[in-house]
Copies of this chain bind each other. A is one copy, B any other.
Amino acid sequence: MSLTPRETAITIRGLRKAFGGQPVYSGFDLDVRRGDILAIFGPNGCGKSTLINMAAGLLPRDGGEILYDGREVSEIRVGYVFQNYREALFPWRRAAENIRYPMRRMGLPAAQVEQRLQGLAERFRVRFDLNRYPYELSGGQQQLVSIMRALAVEPEVLFLDEPFSALDFETTLSLRDLLQRVLKELGITTILVSHDLEESIILADRLLMLTRRPTTVADDVPIDLPWPRQAEALASPGFVALKARCLDVFQKAVAA
């Protein structure tokens, strides 16, 4: 896929990373278009978390560069839902305080912080008490708080590392709808890691399939299903064809 510079929100060039001498990435390139949702689908340990950790500036890279419309990651507003969401919440703050935190850091006035918190709680249909501490919440509840925290600041770029892994059936469904709406509305460029192929297709503008280590791109699939994509979309012929293509690539490149 070739994009004009103006359209690109994230540019990754020549990315290199090795752990203990064994390379995970050796010269990886990627461009993500502004406002796109990029889903990354790949086997365990292929380097998905490593990739977004480097993109988010949390992990030093061995080489290459990652730029956001020419800027460093420190210059942009980022949202991140960690794969280990449990350890990323602050246990000394109540859930609500955890969500307020990035908004405070952004300097939002108190009134607006409360308003956004209210809005999030409603849209996420939170049924538990946000005034509890993270360790008093169930796994899924913690993950939900994590997602709310990441969205609270309306980031320019959002990284979601298996954000639905602990959510229940219903919440997952409603959150897919919600995210679609919010991300598209606000034009947030998103990288989503998911092990659920249907979910990846339903949510993404583009699906990147990665191989095992040493990691390369097995396929780069544009998903041009119409938005919004309701549950019914799962049965549409376009969807079925895409899924079949992906499964095919997967069988050949990954499972082999």
Which residue of B is nearest A161, CB measured? Answer: B139
In angstroms, Cα B140 to Cα A48, docked, is 11
Of the residues B136, B138, B162, contact of A166 by C-beta under 8 Å: B162
Q: Is A127 located at the chain interface by the 8 A CB criterion?
A: yes
Q: How far is the CB of A186 from chain B (nearest CB, A)?
A: 25
Which residue of B is nearest A162, CB measured? Answer: B166
Q: Is A180 located at the chain interface by the 8 A CB criterion?
A: no
Contact A172 B144, beta carbon cutoff 8 Å:
no
Residues of A within 8 A of B (CB): 19-20, 41-45, 48-49, 83-84, 86-87, 127-128, 136-141, 144, 162, 165-172, 195-197, 212, 250, 254-255
Q: Hey, which chain B residues are within 8 Å of A128, CB to CB?
A: 45
In angstroms, Cα B142 to Cα A165, docked, is 15
Q: Hey, which chain B residues are within 8 Å of A197, CB to CB?
A: 169
Q: Hey, which chain B residues are within 8 Å of A137, CB to CB?
A: 45
Contact A195 B212, beta carbon cutoff 8 Å:
no
Ordered nearest first, which 4 A-B pairs have the shortest CB separation? Answer: A44-B140, A45-B138, A165-B165, A43-B168
Which residue of B is nearest A173, CB measured? Answer: B255
Q: Hey, which chain B residues are within 8 Å of A136, CB to CB?
A: 19-20
Whether A140 touches B45, Cβ cut-off 8 Å, given contacts A86-B84, A127-B212, A165-B165, is yes
Q: How far is the CB of A82 from chain B (nearest CB, A)?
A: 10
Whether A83 touches B139, Cβ cut-off 8 Å, given contacts A42-B168, A195-B172, is yes
Which residue of B is nearest A84, CB measured? Answer: B86
Q: Hey, which chain B residues are within 8 Å of A19, CB to CB?
A: 136
* 23 A-B interface contacts by CB (under 8 A): A43-B168, A43-B169, A43-B170, A44-B138, A44-B140, A44-B141, A44-B144, A44-B171, A45-B137, A48-B138, A83-B139, A83-B166, A86-B86, A127-B212, A139-B162, A162-B165, A167-B195, A169-B195, A169-B196, A169-B250, A170-B250, A170-B254, A172-B195
Which residue of B is nearest A24, CB measured? Answer: B138
Which residue of B is nearest A200, CB measured? Answer: B169
Q: Hey, which chain B residues are within 8 Å of A254, CB to CB?
A: 170
